[in-house]
Amino acid sequence: MLTQSIGRHTGGLPGVRAMSETHPGDCVVRPARPDDAAAVSLVHRSDVIAWKGWDAHGQPTWSHYEKLTAFERWMNGGPWMDEALCRRHLAHMQGPSRVALVAEREGTVCAEAEAYFGDEPPPFGKHLNLAVLYTRRDYAGRGLGSALMWSLMEMARARSCESLSLSSASAPGFYSRFGLACWQRWRALTVRANLRNSLYERDSSELAPAPLPAGWGMALGRIGSAAQMWDRLDPGERPPRDARSPGILMVADLALRSGRERARVVLEDKPFVAGVVTAYVWTPDGRLSPRMWAALGDCAARLGRSQMHTWADDMRRADVPAHARWGEEVREVWGLRL
Ligand SMILES: CC(C)(COP(=O)(O)OP(=O)(O)OC[C@H]1O[C@@H](n2cnc3c(N)ncnc32)[C@H](O)[C@@H]1OP(=O)(O)O)[C@@H](O)C(=O)NCCC(=O)NCCS
Ligand 1: atom nearest CA of 142 is: 11
Nearest Cα neighbor of 227 from 77, 2, 12 is: 12
| 77 Cβ closer than 6 Å to some ligand 1 atom | no
Distance separating alpha carbons of residues 252 and 268, to the nearest angstrom: 12
Ligand 1: atom nearest CA of 149 is: 12
Distance separating alpha carbons of residues 15 and 99, to the nearest angstrom: 4
Distance separating alpha carbons of residues 219 and 199, to the nearest angstrom: 20
Flag whether 3 is in a domain. Answer: no
User: Distance from the CA of 140 to the center of ligand 1, in angstroms?
Assistant: 7
User: Distance from the CA of 171 to the center of ligand 1, in angstroms?
Assistant: 7
Q: Do 190 and 242 fall into the same domain?
A: yes
Nearest CA to ligand 1 atom 7: 145
Ligand 1: atom nearest CA of 169 is: 47
Identify the domain boundary among 149, 182, 215.
182
Q: Do 120 and 204 fall into the same domain?
A: no
Amino acid letter for position 32:
A
Distance separating alpha carbons of residues 337 and 291, to the nearest angstrom: 34
User: Distance from the CA of 143 to the center of ligand 1, in angstroms?
Assistant: 8
**SS3 call for 79:** helix
Q: Do 160 and 36 fall into the same domain?
A: yes
Helix residue ranges per DSSP H, the chain: 37-45, 70-75, 83-92, 144-158, 172-176, 226-231, 290-302
Flag whether 44 is in a domain. Answer: yes
Nearest CA to ligand 1 atom 23: 171
Flag whether 140 is in a domain. Answer: yes
Range of the domain at 102: 27-182
Cis peptide before 240 (omega within 30 of 0): no
Ligand 1: atom nearest CA of 147 is: 12
| 141 Cβ closer than 6 Å to some ligand 1 atom | yes
Q: Do 213 and 177 fall into the same domain?
A: no
How many residues appear in the chain?
Answer: 338
Flag whether 261 is in a domain. Answer: yes
Q: Do 213 and 134 fall into the same domain?
A: no
Give the pLDDT confidence score for residue 19 in this predicted structure.
Answer: 46
Flag whether 13 is in a domain. Answer: no
Return phi, psi of residue 72, to 5°: -65, -40
Ligand 1: atom nearest CA of 47 is: 41
Give the pLDDT confidence score for residue 189 in this predicted structure.
Answer: 97
Q: Is 28 exposed, middle or buried (0-12, 13-18, 19+ CB in 10 A)?
A: middle
Nearest CA to ligand 1 atom 1: 171
| 133 Cβ closer than 6 Å to some ligand 1 atom | yes
Flag whether 304 is in a domain. Answer: yes
Low pLDDT (below 50) residues in the chain: 1-20
36: DSSP letter: G
Give the model confidence (pLDDT) of 85-129 as tens digits. 999 999 999 988 999 999 999 999 999 999 999 999 999 999 999
Give the pLDDT confidence score for residue 207 in this predicted structure.
Answer: 56
User: Distance from the CA of 205 to the center of ligand 1, in angstroms?
Assistant: 44
| 137 Cβ closer than 6 Å to some ligand 1 atom | no
| 132 Cβ closer than 6 Å to some ligand 1 atom | yes
Q: Do 139 and 214 fall into the same domain?
A: no
Any idea what the CATH number is for the domain that residue 158 is in? 3.40.630.30
| 27 Cβ closer than 6 Å to some ligand 1 atom | no
| 107 Cβ closer than 6 Å to some ligand 1 atom | no
| 111 Cβ closer than 6 Å to some ligand 1 atom | yes
Please state, in angstroms and as integers, the Cα–Cα distance from residue 5 to each residue in 246, 295, 310, following that order: 17, 32, 17
User: Distance from the CA of 226 to the center of ligand 1, in angstroms?
Assistant: 26
Flag whether 7 is in a domain. Answer: no
Tell how strand 125-135 and strand 163-166 pair up: parallel
Give the pLDDT confidence score for residue 205 in this predicted structure.
Answer: 59
Give the pLDDT confidence score for residue 9 in this predicted structure.
Answer: 33
Give the pLDDT confidence score for residue 95 in this predicted structure.
Answer: 85
Identify the domain boundary among 164, 182, 200.
182
Q: Do 141 and 210 fall into the same domain?
A: no
User: Distance from the CA of 212 to the center of ligand 1, in angstroms?
Assistant: 34
